[in-house]
Structure formats: structure tokens, C-alpha cells
Structure 1
Amino acid sequence: MYVASTRSPGRTPKVSGRLPGTVFALGTVSLLTDISAEMVTAFLPVYLIYTLQMSYVQFGLLDGLYTGATAVLRLVGGYVSDRTSRPKLVALFGYGLSAVTKLVFPMVGASSFGIGGVLATDRAGKGIRTAPRDALISLATPSDQLGAAFGVHRAMDTVGALCGPLLTFLILSQIGTAAGPVFVVSFVFAAIGVVVLLAFVRERRSRVNRSKVSVKAGMGLLRDAKFRRATIAAALLGLVTISDAFVFVVLQKVSDIPVGFLPLLPLGTAAVFLLGAAPIGRMADRFGRWKVFFAGHVLLLVTYGMLLVPDGGFLAVAIALAAHGLFYACTDGVLSAYASGFVPADLRATGLATIQTGQALTRMVSSVVFGVMLAGMAMSSAVIALVAVLIAALIAVALLVRSS
């Protein structure tokens, strides 16, 4: 999603060859870790809204924290990774930190402060590991296969996103809403992921002049007009991307399906993402990564539109989740692939982290603001406002990128 492609205009590159083993090893790590993470994500709306009876404002603040706590630490993880030339070690620390929080979560009980602290720590781990992990993939992959590589990685990651909510649903159906078992099982999968990373992921040690890797050099990337415009565009679209949790909560209420299906809604998004990630990644390599990224946000508009269909039942849910999954397939890995074709190798993790940080910060703001809107106005009015702002953002981003 971000950065301008270096291929010459008018040419459709030939994408061929086998992807490196690093992609599949890191895909396995992400699969296991996402089982762990999505178990928690699927459980949080039930736990916070229905068990602890939190308000929409409280939920929005906590969910925004869950989304945005990654932001600044993405920069830290990226910078340390480039500075030390040890992206695997930095990623290992991030994965390990998130794993430990799964054991701490049930200890804090119903304390909003405690829950917020654990969520922040968990997301800090994600923030630290994201840029080094993506750098490991991009540095091991030929430039004409970046979209395919990130697509395959995200597809494997999404297998975990499918399994996590299903496991949560099965646990809740058997033993009720007790938090302990969910978090213990979540920890086990996260710990296995750490072991796989440690034992099977090989990093490509490059000869980098570390004196050129500095905070000043990282900020210098923003002096490049294309990089700066791409960063602004990603942040602007992040500002109108509400969290998955709010999409699922509003969709369940508007469609009037039973609340017991709420933990299963992430499965729909994840299933479509899984099927679409790899082929859409290859399509992005051929036809342009930015075009595919932009199209993903048009699909997000379709998702929001379905949140305005009253009593739509399972048909409205199916359409919304299909569009939501395709949105992720068009944006998640494609963003990193686009940026990897533009950012220099010695600042790869820092560059990826810079663009991702802008997006994460604005997504945090969107969760908080949307929670306040839901508390202060009718649900349909809040969604209509969201749709209007997304349309305006799409127009602004199209003009911004076209100007470059």
C-alpha cells in the first residue's frame, strides 16, 4: 500500500519462481500467534460489553488502546531492527511480550485500568514485532514477488484468524463466559509460535552501514514527496477505518441475529481474507499495488453500507463480511509490499514502521471517536456520518496521490 512502484510504466511484470522459505516460516509463526490473538479479539466484545457491562465509550477507549498501542512502538521496533541488523531478535521480543500477557489478563479481573494496561502491553508486543517481521519477508523476497509473498504470509496468518474465534466459540459454548480457559489456551498457541520463530526462521544478515541508520535518517524519508504523500494517504484512510470489533458489534445489532453468533462474525471476515490474500497479492504485483489498496477501501465502504440495512439478517451479515474480508485482502499485505518496493534496504523496517504508525494512530482515534458517537447519537446516524467521511477521504486521497 504505500510506496510507488519502481517498475516502468506500461509494463506488466512477470511474477514467477518459488517464494523463499522465510515467508512460510514466518507465516507459520503468524498463524499460531493469530490463533492466540484472535481468541482474545473474539472474546473481548462479549467479555467487556455483555459480561462487564461496559459502555460504548469505555469499549471505544479500550479498543482504541488495543489498536493504537502498537503505533509508536512500531517505530521503535523498526529503528532497533535496522540499527542492529537483527530483525529476528527484535521480532522475537515482540512475540514473547504478547505471549506473556495472555497469562496476566485473567488476573486483572474487571478493572478497566488493569484491562487497559494488559491490552497496551499486548499491542506493544505487536507493534515491536510488525516492522522487523515485514522487513524479514521483504529482504528475503525478489522485488517482483513482494505482493505474492505478503499475500501468502497474510493468508497463513488468516488461518489463525479463522481458528481463533472458532476456539473461543467452542470454549464459551462448553464452559460459559469464564475468562481463564480462553486466555490459557491463547497463551499456549502464542508460546508455540515463539518457539517456531526461534528454531526455524532464518534471517538474512546484510552488510549495512549502521552509521547511516539513525532517527534523523528515518525522518528524512518524509522529505521524499512520494513517501510523504503515501504516509498521509495511509493515515487519512486509517482515520475512517473503525475497528473490527465495532464492525461486528454494530452488524450483530443492526442485522438482529442472535448475540451468540457475535464471536463467530470474525470467522466470515477471516475466511474471505484467507481465500483472497494470495491471489490479490499476485494481482497487485501485476496491475499496481496502490490501485489494489485503494480499491480495498471502496470495499470497506460497502461494508459500512451494510451496517445501515435494518433487520438484514444473515444475508446482510454475509455481504458485509465478504466485503470486509476483501478489504483486508486488498490492503493488509499489499501495503507492506508497496512500501517495500520504495523504501531503501538499510531503512526498510523504519520506513515500513513510519507508514504503519501513521495508520495505527489514526485508527486508534477512529475507534475512540466512533465509540463516543455511538454513545451520543442513534447508531444509524453514527454510521451515516462514518460513510460520508469515508467518501470524502477517498476523494481526498485520490487527488493527493494523483498529484504525485
Structure 2
Amino acid sequence: MDLSSEIYHALLPAFITVTLGLPAVALGAIDGVAEATASFAKLASGRLSDRSRKRKPWVLLGYGLAALSKPLFPIAQGALELMGARFADRVGKGIRGAPRDAIIADETPPEIRGRAFGLRQALDTVGALIAPLAAIGLMYLFLENIRAVFWIAAIPAALSFLLALAAVKEPSVHLPDGKQQPLFSGFRDLDKPMRRLLAVAFLFSLARFSESFLILRALDIGVSATLSPLALVAFNLGFLALAYPAGALSDRLSPRHILIAGMSVLVVANLLLGQDIGVVGLVVGILLWGAHMALTQGIFARMIADAAPDHLRATSFGAYYFVSGIGTLVASLAAGFIWDRDGGSMTFLAGAGAAAVALAMLSLLGESRRDPAR
């Protein structure tokens, strides 16, 4: 599914700004609204998964909806149709996200959870790494006809649903008393440490807008629409290189220290991308962006798994993805407005400032509390 989805993701900035002729703020709105939608879906599916004591049906529903959404992209003629396609795709992602991560937490001993989520993050990134290369190859093959490439990219999405149907097993996890909980009680039952962790996740997401702006930055400095997906190749290389090592390291060190390192890397990456430094600087900045993701995303997932009780595990993951998605929506919309008004350099410099604020607040929390990120 990542192979399919990331082909669309790699070509959407060019499709939106070149094929459809829309402004950068449209890219920020479409990406931000789509990701926020996925977050609402994760909030609901996580709670429903815990309430029904089932994981696999929600995973299958998510993969199936995402596969069905893919043919909507090549027939889109404007922003509304494209947002509808992206909306359906991200709802599918949202539905499967929390139950999928809950399966991993259900089946993994606590002492190796960091490695488990690091491995999941790394395998996600393999598909995301191959996808931009496939997008470039297909763009050459189909003479830069983005719509034709979108039709081909629907095939691996359908295959992913069939694989999930055949291979995913329902874990033997039940609520302690075997009774079904009221729908909304689970959110109220989240304890103070979990709520604190969710607050930190929200703060981090405000400092990070959609990686589509990395592609837009590549277009901004003169990279062609056909080669612009290489920005995601560099991003995913940085991500893949550190995803598993960071997860494994969190099994031995304080996850908060790894998060601080990740946010520090994001500050440096944004400062670099905010300068007029050519293709070499662009590649280095994007690699660092990917490295920051490796040092934060899997770490947060592992910490949620550690902090959540068994009967609220998917609910906790849903809440985490919800607050992160809302933060990403705000950040992406702000990035789009800044880009249209002041250009790409100012967008990334503003991102560096937001990341620095998040880093400072996390550091202050660390001084006032024993382990605020747990």
C-alpha cells in the first residue's frame, strides 16, 4: 500500500501546481485536510477496535477503502475532486492505522517493542522509498502523463488488500471482564501520563508540515516535475537508515532523549532548506528531514504501546494519531500560506522556528518532570 500511495504522493505536488494549475496553498489544504481526516478515522477505529475486541476487520476495511480510492485520482479535474480522492484514501489509512499498531503491541513483548515498531517503520519506508523511483520510471514510460501513472499505481493497492485478507491473523486479545465498553468511555479513561504524552505529540506535530513541501522545494529550485519525486527518495533514505536503529536504541535508552535528538535534527534540516544552497544542500536537508522522522515517529508509537493498558491500546493509538493529524493540518495550512506570500525559503525558516520552540518546551518539561515523554 505504501508503494501505491507514495506514487500518488510523489506526483501530487506537480499534478496540483502544474497539471491543475492550483496555488501552493491548495497543496497545503488538500494534504492537511486529508491527514486530519485520517486522524479522525484513526480516533474512531481505534476506539471501535477496542470496543469490539477485533483488529482484523478494521485493518481490512482500511486497506479496502484505500484501494478503492486510487482510481479517483486520475479522473480528478479540479481541487474538489482531488480532495475527495485524497479524503477517501486517507480515511482508509486512518481506519487501519490504530488497529494495525495495536496488533503489533498485542503480539510484542515489552522488552523489544522499540525494535518492533522500528522494524514496522522501516518496512513502511521501503515501499515509500521504491515508490518515487517507480513514479519517475513510469513518468518516462508514459511521456510525463501523470494520469496514466496514477492508473498503474492502483494495482499494488489492490494487491495489498488481498495480502492483508490472506495473511493477517486476529490476535487473541480480550477486555479484562469480557464486556463491551460504552463508546466514549475509553477516551475519558485515558490517564494523566497518557494525556501528557499526547500533548507532547501534538506539540511536535505543530512543528512539522507535510513532506509534500519537500517536493515543492525541489520544484522551486528548478528540478523538473519528472525528477521531483527524487526528493521523496532522499527523504525515505534518511528515514529508512535510522528507523530500526532508533527503535532498538529506545529499548535501552530514554525515549525522551531520542525525541530531543530528532527535533534538533529537524531544526537543522529546516534551516538548511531555508537557504539558497542548490541541489546538494537540498539533498542534505531532505536526508536530515528523513532522519528526524526516524528519531520521532517509531519512538512515539513504542511509547504509546508502553503507556496504554491492554483494553485501551487501540484507543490510545487512535488518540495519538488524532492529535498528531490536527497539528499537521495546522502546520500544513500555515506552510501553504507562508509559501504563497513569502516563498519557499521563508516557509522552511518558519518551520525551523516552530521546531525550536517545540524542542525548548520539551527540554523544559524534562527539567520539571522526571520523565515527561513516558
TM-score norm. by structure 1 comes to: 0.87
Structure 1 residue 358 corresponds to structure 2 residue 326: no
- Do the aligned partners of residues 277 and 384 (structure 1) sit closer, same or farther apart at CA in structure 2, a change above 3 Å counting? closer
- How far the C-alpha of 1:35 sits from its partner, in A, is 0.1
- Do the aligned partners of residues 228 and 306 (structure 1) sit closer, same or farther apart at CA in structure 2, a change above 3 Å counting? same
Separation in 1 of the partners of 2:295 and 2:208? 14
Structure 2 equivalent of residue 78 of structure 1: 46
Structure 2 equivalent of residue 278 of structure 1: 244
Unaligned 5+ residue runs, structure 2? Answer: 370-374
Alignment of 1:24-35 (within 5 A): 33-35=1-3
Q: Secondary structure at the match of 1:205?
A: coil
- Asked whether the equivalents of residues 85 and 205 of structure 1 are also in contact (C-alpha less than 8 Å), the reply is no
Q: 2:162 aligns with which of 195, 217, 220?
A: 195
Separation in 1 of the partners of 2:365 and 2:317? 20
Structure 2 equivalent of residue 3 of structure 1: none
- Asked whether the equivalents of residues 273 and 329 of structure 1 are also in contact (C-alpha less than 8 Å), the reply is yes
- How far the C-alpha of 1:293 sits from its partner, in A, is 2.3
Structure 2 equivalent of residue 131 of structure 1: 98
- Identity fraction in percent: 29
Alignment of 1:365-376 (within 5 A): 365-376=330-341
Unaligned 5+ residue runs, structure 1? Answer: 1-32
Structure 1 residue 327 corresponds to structure 2 residue 295: no
Between stretches 384-393 and 367-376, larger displacement belongs to 384-393
- How far the C-alpha of 1:203 sits from its partner, in A, is 2.2
Root-mean-square deviation over aligned CA pairs: 1.7
Structure 1 residue 379 corresponds to structure 2 residue 347: no
Matched AA of 2:98: A
- Asked whether the equivalents of residues 155 and 274 of structure 1 are also in contact (C-alpha less than 8 Å), the reply is yes
- How far the C-alpha of 1:212 sits from its partner, in A, is 6.0
- Asked whether the equivalents of residues 257 and 313 of structure 1 are also in contact (C-alpha less than 8 Å), the reply is no
Q: How many residues align?
A: 368
Per-residue displacement from partner, 1:12-56 (whole Å, max 9, x unpaired)? xxxxxxxxxxxxxxxxxxxxx100110000010111111111111
Separation in 2 of the partners of 1:355 and 1:173? 40
- Asked whether the equivalents of residues 92 and 197 of structure 1 are also in contact (C-alpha less than 8 Å), the reply is yes
Separation in 2 of the partners of 1:124 and 1:241? 21
Q: Secondary structure at the match of 1:338?
A: helix
- How far the C-alpha of 1:185 sits from its partner, in A, is 2.2
- Do the aligned partners of residues 105 and 308 (structure 1) sit closer, same or farther apart at CA in structure 2, a change above 3 Å counting? closer
TM-score norm. by structure 2 comes to: 0.93
Q: 2:120 aligns with which of 150, 153, 172?
A: 153
Separation in 2 of the partners of 1:106 and 1:252? 21
Separation in 2 of the partners of 1:118 and 1:210? 39
Matched AA of 1:363: T
Structure 2 equivalent of residue 167 of structure 1: 134
- How far the C-alpha of 1:213 sits from its partner, in A, is 3.3
Q: 1:58 aligns with which of 26, 32, 36?
A: 26
